[in-house]
């Protein structure tokens, strides 16, 4: 939907209207856990908001649209966590581990720009990209559009070196590049099959890839009949932030095909044109599957180069096969290739291929999440949550809330955000005249969990269940401000706990009660056996 001024107001309003309608419908679903609500929100609501956002969203100046979109996300976050309406949006986003709207839209725009830079140079989009780049560099340009503004948030030098991914598929009538590509699902069967094929091949080449200290390497090695190395080649793939182990394995296979071609002309009689069987053994199942099923995705150019080289090799009367050899199966060839690949994992690049789109996407994602973390740490909101959990934003909050029933997630949200029905919060918003607990002290989260005398018996029972985790509010509420100690029961309770003490197999029941005849640190421990009950007085240290 367009408006006459091309300001996208009607489009954004329509998107908000549709997203709100879907969010209200989802809120009518009952008995859903927070993780299920989160999945529904990201699957049903965010696609409506994000649709065509790379066209209308300006990541640097779009404030009006973001205010409206934040309202939609905030309402959904409150329903996901069952939080109070007074909780700040930034706190809700961190607790639910959902990106803020402006960062989510920026992430989407940057991924789109990165994908556009992988299209072939004859694609029509390159004229728009060139125009956007000129406007990006022209600081005095009055007329800007979202593509140019997105380019300002990215590194053009990284974009210029990205690989090319051709959207056009390979012709289906092309000749098969390999005589056979065999990938067994069972490791033992694959190992035996690889040994059999190795024994029946005229040429056997091992390829492998490995990483070390942030860099990747690949290696190719061959042996003679006496298990002596006759040919080896090491390839420096590049840094891990631009290359992956999967692609390093593909690069190793590419050079292995070239080694087969080289050995064929060096050692065999090419005059008689005797057919030769050559086998490349690789320990990467995913690399072989990528060669089997060619797709238009990251690493396509390397796969195409492998297929072209293999086709040329087979044209020389060589029957070329690819075989999966499971790694770490005490095979000398595979182990040698891995060792040489690890040695080759050094700074530098000794191959002609260009960096991957998949690693650029990972770089963009990490940058977005680093910005989110920085915004959270410098935010004036969520001070209570930062004291409890200093490791946010983090994925573990999804597990923290994920399996909790709605009523328990509701309580955990109150305790972690500080917006609860405790007296301190009630007084702040005018629901009570004082902030005192029934015991007379100020009723804070720390007081309820650690200090309140009225809850002493429940606290002792909790300490028996969770051990020394009770030592701080942060560890009790799933925070990461400190490493929680090993979960072990109190020494006083260890002998009486039937679940942890095999010396008392006949214990049927165990309970704690307050001892009114002594000071507040003493409790009565009752242990019920088959035919008797023993009551002892104990002090909790």
pLDDT of residue 385 exceeding 60, the answer is: yes
pLDDT above 90 coverage of the chain, percent? 48
Please give the Cα distance from 246 to 291 (Å, whole number).
Answer: 12
Please give the Cα distance from 218 to 254 (Å, whole number).
Answer: 10
Residue 373 lies in a domain: yes
Residue 478 lies in a domain: no
Show Cβ contacts of residue 411 under 8 Å, excluding neighbours closer than 6 positions.
none
DSSP one-letter code for 513: E
Banded pLDDT at 96 (limits 50, 70, 90): very high
Residue 485 lies in a domain: no
pLDDT above 70 coverage of the chain, percent? 84
User: In this structure, are 456 and 504 located in the same domain?
Assistant: no
User: In this structure, are 61 and 150 located in the same domain?
Assistant: yes
Nearest to 240 by CA among 326, 161, 358: 358
Element (H, E) at 209: strand 203-212
Please give the Cα distance from 32 to 45 (Å, whole number).
Answer: 17
Please give the Cα distance from 254 to 302 (Å, whole number).
Answer: 8
* pLDDT (mean) for 326-338: 84
CB 206 within 8 A of CB 336: yes
What pLDDT does residue 502 have? 39
CA–centroid distance for 44 within its chain: 21
pLDDT of residue 330 exceeding 70, the answer is: yes
pLDDT, tens digit (0-9, with 9 covering 90-100), for 6-29: 778 888 889 999 999 999 999 889
Phi, psi (5° rounding) for residue 333?
-65, -45
Q: The tokens of 400 are what?
A: 């923290």
User: In this structure, are 205 and 326 located in the same domain?
Assistant: yes
User: In this structure, are 380 and 495 located in the same domain?
Assistant: no
pLDDT of residue 537 exceeding 70, the answer is: no
pLDDT, tens digit (0-9, with 9 covering 90-100), for 206-220: 999 999 999 999 999
Residue 486 lies in a domain: no
Query: DSSP secondary structure string, 75-114?
Result: HHHHHHHT--TTS-HHHHHHHHT---HHHHHHHHHHHHHH
* pLDDT (mean) for 262-278: 71
Please give the Cα distance from 103 to 372 (Å, whole number).
Answer: 7
Residue 119 lies in a domain: yes
pLDDT of residue 503 exceeding 50, the answer is: no
* pLDDT (mean) for 519-537: 52
CB 31 within 8 A of CB 12: no
Kindly report whether the global pTM for this prediction surpasses the value 0.85: no
User: In this structure, are 349 and 468 located in the same domain?
Assistant: no
User: In this structure, are 436 and 342 located in the same domain?
Assistant: no
Count the neighbouring beta carbons within 10 Å of the beta carbon of residue 40.
20
Burial class (CB in 10 A: 0-12, 13-18, 19+), 254: buried
Query: DSSP secondary structure string, 251-308?
Result: HHHHHHHHHHHHHHHHHS-TTTT--EEEEEEES-HHHHHHHHS--SSTTHHHHHHHHH
Banded pLDDT at 343 (limits 50, 70, 90): very high
What pLDDT does residue 522 have? 52
Report CA-CA distances (Å) from 285 to 188, 195, 289: 14, 17, 6
User: In this structure, are 200 and 248 located in the same domain?
Assistant: yes
Please, what sign has the CA dihedral across residues 467, 473, 476, 479? Answer: negative
Count the neighbouring beta carbons within 10 Å of the beta carbon of residue 289.
12
Q: For residue 132, what are the domain limits? A: 1-162+356-417
pLDDT, tens digit (0-9, with 9 covering 90-100), for 401-411: 888 898 899 99
Show Cβ contacts of residue 421 under 8 Å, excluding neighbours closer than 6 positions.
414
pLDDT of residue 224 exceeding 90, the answer is: no
Please give the Cα distance from 325 to 432 (Å, whole number).
Answer: 71
Please give the Cα distance from 97 to 318 (Å, whole number).
Answer: 55
What pLDDT does residue 496 have? 33
Number of structural domains in the chain: 4
Banded pLDDT at 511 (limits 50, 70, 90): low
Q: The tokens of 478 are what?
A: 């799933």
What pLDDT does residue 126 have? 94
Residue 107 lies in a domain: yes
Query: DSSP secondary structure string, 136-161?
Result: HH-TT-S---HHHHHHHTS-HHHHHT
pLDDT, tens digit (0-9, with 9 covering 90-100), for 161-198: 999 999 998 888 888 899 889 887 788 888 888 888 88
Give me the chain's average pLDDT, please: 84
What pLDDT does residue 236 have? 96
What pLDDT does residue 227 have? 79
Count the neighbouring beta carbons within 10 Å of the beta carbon of residue 26.
18
DSSP one-letter code for 201: -
Q: Which of 332, 354, 376 is the last residue of a domain?
A: 354
What pLDDT does residue 513 have? 53
**Highest mean predicted confidence (pLDDT) among 51-60, 61-70, 90-99, 418-427:** 90-99
* pLDDT (mean) for 78-82: 94
What pLDDT does residue 482 have? 47
Q: Which of 354, 383, 400 is the last residue of a domain?
A: 354
Banded pLDDT at 144 (limits 50, 70, 90): low
Banded pLDDT at 303 (limits 50, 70, 90): very high
pLDDT of residue 506 exceeding 70, the answer is: no
* pLDDT (mean) for 492-512: 41
Residue 18 lies in a domain: yes
What pLDDT does residue 498 have? 40
- Top pLDDT among 478 and 523 is at 478
Please give the Cα distance from 270 to 143 (Å, whole number).
Answer: 66
């Amino acid at each position: 939907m367009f408006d006459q001024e091309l300001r996208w107001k009607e489009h954004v309003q329509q998107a908000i209207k549709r997203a709100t309608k879907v969010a209200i419908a989802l809120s009518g679903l009952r008995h859903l856990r927070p993780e299920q609500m989160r999945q529904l929100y990201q699957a049903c609501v965010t696609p409506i908001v994000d649709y065509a956002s790379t066209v209308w969203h300006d990541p640097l100046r779009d404030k009006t649209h973001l205010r409206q979109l934040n309202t939609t996300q905030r309402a959904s976050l409150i329903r996901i966590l069952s939080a109070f309406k007074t909780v700040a949006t930034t706190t809700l986003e961190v607790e639910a581990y959902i990106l803020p709207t402006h960062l989510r839209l920026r992430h989407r725009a940057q991924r789109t720009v990165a994908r556009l830079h992988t299209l072939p140079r004859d694609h029509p989009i390159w004229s728009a990209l060139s125009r956007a780049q000129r406007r990006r560099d022209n600081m005095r340009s009055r007329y800007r559009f979202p593509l140019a503004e997105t380019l300002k948030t990215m590194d053009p030098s990284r974009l210029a070196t990205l690989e090319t991914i051709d959207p056009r598929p390979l012709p289906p009538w092309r000749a098969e590049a390999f005589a056979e590509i065999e990938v067994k699902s069972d490791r033992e069967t694959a190992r035996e099959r690889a040994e059999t094929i190795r024994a029946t091949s005229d040429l056997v080449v091992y390829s492998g890839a490995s990483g070390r200290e942030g860099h990747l390497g690949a290696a190719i090695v061959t042996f003679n009949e006496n298990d002596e190395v006759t040919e080896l080649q090491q390839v420096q793939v590049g840094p891990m932030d631009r290359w992956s182990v999967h692609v390093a394995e593909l690069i190793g296979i590419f050079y292995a095909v070239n080694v087969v071609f080289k050995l064929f002309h060096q050692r065999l009689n090419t005059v008689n044109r005797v057919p030769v069987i050559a086998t490349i053994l690789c320990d990467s199942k995913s690399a072989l599957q990528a060669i089997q099923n060619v797709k238009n995705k990251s690493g396509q150019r390397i796969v195409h180069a492998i297929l072209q080289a293999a086709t040329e090799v087979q044209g020389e009367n060589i029957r070329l096969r690819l075989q999966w050899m499971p790694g770490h199966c005490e095979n000398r060839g595979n182990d040698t290739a891995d060792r040489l690949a690890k040695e080759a994992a050094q700074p530098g690049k000794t191959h002609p291929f260009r960096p991957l789109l998949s690693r650029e996407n990972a770089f963009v994602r990490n940058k977005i999440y680093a910005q989110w973390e920085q915004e959270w740490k410098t935010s004036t909101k969520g001070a209570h949550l930062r004291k409890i959990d200093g490791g946010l934003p983090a994925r573990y909050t999804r597990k923290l809330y994920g399996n909790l029933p709605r009523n328990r997630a509701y309580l955990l949200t109150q305790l972690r955000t500080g917006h609860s029905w405790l007296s301190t919060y009630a007084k702040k918003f005018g629901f009570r005249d004082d902030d005192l607990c029934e015991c007379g002290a100020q009723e804070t989260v720390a007081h309820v969990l650690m200090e309140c005398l009225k809850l002493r018996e429940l606290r002792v029972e909790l300490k028996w269940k969770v051990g020394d985790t009770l030592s701080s509010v942060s560890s009790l509420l799933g925070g990461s401000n400190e490493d929680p100690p090993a979960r072990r029961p109190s020494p006083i309770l260890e002998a009486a706990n039937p679940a942890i003490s095999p010396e008392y197999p006949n214990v049927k029941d165990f309970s704690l009660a307050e001892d009114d005849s002594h000071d507040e640190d003493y409790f009565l421990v009752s242990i019920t056996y088959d035919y008797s009950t023993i009551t002892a007085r104990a002090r909790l240290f």
